[in-house]
Chain A
Amino acid sequence: MTDLTSLGVKEIRDGVARGDFTAREVAEAFNAAVAEAAALNAFIVTTPDHALAAADKVDAARAAGETLGKMAGVPIGMKDLFATHGVQTTAASHILEGFTPRYESTVSQKLWDAGAGMLGKLNLDQFAMGSSNETSYFGNVASPWKKAGSNAAMSPGGSSGGSSAAVAARIAPAATGTDTGGSIRQPAAFTGICGIKPTYGRCSRWGIVAFASSLDQAGPMARSVEDCAIMLGAMAGFDPKDSTSLQMDVPDWEAALNADLRGKKVGIPREYRMEGTDQAILDSWEQGKAWLKDAGAEIVDVSLPHTKYALPAYYIVAPAEASSNLARYDGVRYGLRDLPEGVGLQDMYAATRAAGFGDEVKRRILIGTYVLSAGFYDAYYTQAQKVRALVARDFARAFEECDVILAPTTPTASFPLGSMNEDPLTMYLNDVFAVPASLAGLPAMSVPATINADGLPLGLQLVGKPFDEQGVLNAGLAIQQRAGFSAKPEKWW
Chain B
Amino acid sequence: MSVDKATVAKIASLARIRMDDAALEQMVPELNGILQWVEQLGEVDVTGIEPMAAVIPNTLRLRDDVVDADPLTGGGKREDVLANAPAAEHGFFGVPKVIE
Contact = CB atoms under 8 A, between A and B. Distances in A.
A–B direct touch in complex (beta carbons closer than 8 A): yes
Interface of A: 98-103, 199-201, 206, 214-215, 240-241, 243-244, 246-247, 306, 308-309, 312-313, 315-316, 323, 327, 330-337, 339, 343-351, 353-354, 357, 362-363, 365-367, 369-370, 373, 376, 379-380, 382-390, 392, 423-425, 428, 439-441, 466
Nearest to A217: B55
19 contacts: A100-B83, A102-B83, A201-B56, A206-B72, A247-B61, A309-B43, A333-B81, A333-B85, A344-B96, A348-B95, A353-B16, A353-B17, A379-B1, A385-B51, A386-B49, A388-B52, A390-B49, A428-B34, A441-B56
Contact of B18 (A214, A308, A316, A353): A353
Nearest to A201: B56
Interface in B28-43: 30-31, 33-35, 37-43
Contacts of B8: 366
A345 B98 contact: yes
B17 A365 contact: yes
B90 interface: no
A330 B46 contact: no
A423 to B, nearest CB: 7
Contacts of B72: 103, 206, 241
Contacts of B18: 347, 350-351, 353-354
Given A312-B38, A333-B85, A425-B37, A373 B14 contact: yes
B21 interface: no
A367 B55 contact: no
Interface residues of B, number: 57
Given A344-B98, A370-B11, 9 more contacts: A103-B72, A246-B56, A332-B85, A332-B93, A345-B98, A350-B17, A353-B17, A365-B15, A389-B51
B22 interface: no
B46 A387 contact: yes
B22 to A, nearest CB: 12
A441 B8 CA distance: 32
A357 B15 CA distance: 12
B6 interface: no
B52 A385 contact: yes
Nearest to A350: B18
A339 B43 CA distance: 46
The 3 A-B residue pairs with the shortest CB-CB distance in the complex, in nearest-first order = A385-B51, A441-B55, A334-B84
Given A387-B41, A390-B46, A366 B12 contact: yes
